[in-house]
Amino acid sequence: MTTDVSTYRYNHTMYRIKDPKASIKFYTEALGMKLLEEHHSEESKFSLYFLGYEDPASKGLVRLGRQGLLELTHNHGTENDADFAYNTGNGDVGGYGHIAITVDDLQAACARFDSLSVKFIKRPEEGRMKHIAFVSDPDGYRVEILENPMLRR
């Protein structure tokens, strides 16, 4: 039995989320992702939401044919528990870091995030690294925002 590693692709990262409405709103409205697919298992009491960006290379591809997706996993009932929170791996001990999104204009993106009341962890003007920002999703997962001038039209 053999396998060809040149065919391997990074497909997705999975985050456990408390409230799918809040999380989907953040990723679609604030970050511009598209909800590409969802699956609901009432018997097992969980739902999966797959989000990503549409670009010419991925248009029309099935989920397993795409790259760089975000899977949000919701265990039913967590949204009703005010004290419930997932460990995002970014506490005192650390461990997990973040995902990163590239934007065409960092300052304009940050102004847009402000207008949407997105929570900032680090603004570009804070600290030594002026070329990045960090925002937080509704569950506290970190998202790095990077400017890519090649995206400007």
The CA dihedral of 51, 136, 124, 153, to the nearest 10 degrees, is: 20
Selecting among 37, 38, 79, 144, the annotated active-site residue is 144
Active site residue 79: no
- Only one residue has tokens 């985050």, namely 15
Phi-psi category of residue 127: left, alpha or beta, with phi > 0 → left and psi -120 to 50 → alpha = left
Q: How far apart are CA 33 and CA 42, in angstroms?
A: 26
Residues marked as catalytic: 144
